[in-house]
A = this chain, B = another copy of it.
Amino acid sequence: MDRRNVHFALVLAYHGPGFRGWQFQEGQPTVEGSLRKAAAPLFQGPFRCRAAGRTDAGVHARDQRVLLAGPCEHSADTLAKALNARLCEGIAVLQCREVGPDWDPKSGSFAKSYRYQVWRGPYLPPVLHDRVWWIQGRGALSQTAIEAAAAHLRGEQDYDSFRSAHCQARHARRCIWQLDFRPEETAAILAHPDERCALASFTVTGNAFCQHQVRIMVGTLVEVGLGKREAASIPGILEAKDRQAAGRTAPAQGLTLQRVYFPGEEALSGVPSDARWPGCPWD
């Protein structure tokens, strides 16, 4: 019997509402817990399971990267099929390949993109249930105001005001290269496209993120888009280094971990080639 120790790199997608987030918690449905349970009979002994990043309860992923490493007789293809057959409906292994022993989904990636979807209107189309933040009301969010505010949130800076009070990171210095707000097509959702309703999404790409950072940035930008807060107030919020200065935490169901970037994918990531930060892959 071939008892070699194998390292597998997985691309995992999941629909958030079925899980109490990524991280294993005894007796709770979590993504890590479900994956470990599905993988256990496919390894001949203890194995490691490690993700590129934790996601909160209710947050979706279309590109979570996971290392599964341990004694295994299966090929990557067989493992992927067997995992998909054993996983519950809300999770799927999209890719699985064998990697070297040094591959690490967290320290090996140089950037992550998140997408946050918001729906503005007097009602929520059922097809969007569980997938957006429904900002009830009429009248579009101001794209101009949001873009002006977002400009202050890009760059390398201290995001202390934009992280959860429970964030355990040693510091909140992060690089955000992309923070865009764009209207999305609603033709496939609305029978009769209605100007009082709008779907839009934020795309955020950075080297790393503090706990709830994307959700607090989005919550604050939406307040700007609704005219409840000035775009010019953002620099003051950053300077305050105080969670209370920023806006509300946007709800989890609007957020998707969209892509994790590894060296060799610099061009795809949209990270400018002159960007420099600690751990920059082109340094």
Q: Which A residues are within 8 Å of any B CB, using their own CB?
A: 11, 13-15, 60, 62-63, 80-81, 84, 89-95, 122-127, 129, 131, 189-192, 194, 258-259
Establish whether residues B81 and A13, one from each chain, have CB atoms under 8 Å apart when the complex forms.
Answer: no
With a cutoff of 8 Å between Cβ atoms, the chain B residues found around residue A95 in the complex are 192, 194
Interface contacts beyond A15-B129, A84-B122: sample of 8 additional A-B pairs, CB < 8 Å, sorted by A: A60-B127, A90-B126, A94-B123, A94-B125, A94-B190, A95-B192, A127-B131, A191-B258
Q: Which of B15, B94, B126, B189 contacts A91 (CB 8 A)?
A: B126
Interface pair B62/A122, CB less than 8 Å apart? no
Question: Can you report 18 A-B residue pairs in the complex whose CB atoms are below 8 A from each other?
Answer: A13-B125, A14-B126, A15-B129, A62-B125, A62-B127, A62-B189, A62-B190, A63-B192, A80-B123, A84-B122, A90-B126, A93-B123, A94-B123, A94-B190, A94-B191, A94-B194, A95-B192, A191-B258
Residues of B within 8 Å of A191, CB to CB, are 11, 13, 62-63, 94, 258-259
Report the copy number of this chain in the oligomer.
2
Identity of the chain B residue whose Cβ is nearest the Cβ of A131 in the assembled complex:
B127
Cβ–Cβ < 8 Å partners of A60 in chain B: 126-127
Q: Which of B81, B92, B258 contacts A124 (CB 8 A)?
A: B92
Q: Which residues of B contact A94 (CB under 8 A)?
A: 123, 125, 190-192, 194
Shortest C-beta distance, A6 to chain B (Å), equals 21
CB pair B258 A92 closer than 8 Å:
no
Smallest CB–CB gap between A51 and chain B, Å?
14
Complex Cα distance A191/B95, Å?
Answer: 10
A94 vs B192: C-alpha distance in the bound complex, in angstroms? Answer: 9
Partner of A126, one of B13, B124, B125: B13
Contact in complex: B126, A92 (CB < 8 Å): yes
